[in-house]
Homo-oligomer: A and B are copies of this chain.
Amino acid sequence: MHRGNRHGRSEQARLAVLEAADDLLVEKGFAALTVEGIAQRAGVAKQTIYRWWPSKTDILLEAFLTDAAEELTPPDTGDLTRDLVTHLTAISRFLTASDAGAVFRALAAEGQHNPRLAARLRAEHLTHQRARDRQPLERAQRRGELPAEADLDTLADRLVGPLYYRALVTGQQITEAFVAQLVRATLAGA
C-alpha cells in the first residue's frame, strides 16, 4: 500500500477524498461542500487536497468520472425503439434519482460559471456520453432502419435534449409516457 513519499501520491488519500466529496455533496448539498469539510471527513490534510486538486469542483469531477465511467451504456437488442426507450429511461433515472446524477447536476451547474470546468466536463464525460447515445442510432443505420443520410448528431440531441431540459431546467417529471412518445415521435420524424 502506498503512503505519501517520493514515489507518488497516496492512493488511499485520493480515494478517501473522492468518496468524502461524493458523500458530502449528496448529504449536505453543494453549498455545504467545503474543502475543509472534505478534508475532515476524509481524514486528510487540507494541503493534500490542494496539492492534487485545484478546486473542489475538480474533486467532484474526478469522483464523477471514477464512479460513473461505465454507466449509461445503451443496450443492443436489435430493436431500436426498445433500446432507445431503455436508454433514455436510464438517462432520466441517472439525472433525477441517482447520487452520480446529483454530482453531474452540480458539475453542470458550476460549469455555467466556470468555463474551464465546463470544458473538462465536456471533454472527459459528455463527449463519451454523446458517443454512447449515438450507438443505437448507428447500429440502426447500419441495419437500414434509419436512412443513410440521417444526421445522427441532431437526432441524438433531439432525443436526450428534452430529458436534460426537464431534469435541469423545468423540473417536470419525466414519465414513461413522455419517454415513449419522445422516442416514437422522434423516430417518426427522422
Residues of A within 8 A of B (CB): 29-31, 105-106, 108-114, 118, 122, 126, 130, 151, 154, 157-158, 160-166, 168-172, 178, 181-182, 184-190
Let me know if A108 and B168 touch, CB within 8 A: yes
A-B CB contact pairs (8 Å), 11 listed:
A106-B113, A109-B110, A154-B178, A154-B182, A161-B162, A161-B164, A164-B164, A164-B169, A185-B189, A188-B188, A188-B189
A185 to B165, CA, bound (A): 19
A172 to B154, CA, bound (A): 11
Partner of A189, one of B30, B130, B186: B186
- Chain B neighbourhood of A105, CB < 8 A: 112
Let me know if A169 and B29 touch, CB within 8 A: no
Q: List the number of copies, as a whole number.
A: 4
If over half of A's interface residues share one DSSP class (helix, strand or loop), that class is named, otherwise mixed; here it is helix
- Chain B neighbourhood of A126, CB < 8 A: 169-170
A160 to B160, CA, bound (A): 12
Partner of A168, one of B168, B184, B187: B168
Let me know if B154 and A160 touch, CB within 8 A: no
5 cross-chain pairs, A with B, having the tightest CB-CB distances, nearest first: A189-B189, A161-B162, A161-B165, A109-B112, A109-B109
Across the interface, name the chain B residue whose C-beta is closest to A157. B162
Min distance, Cβ A110 to any Cβ of chain B, angstroms:
7
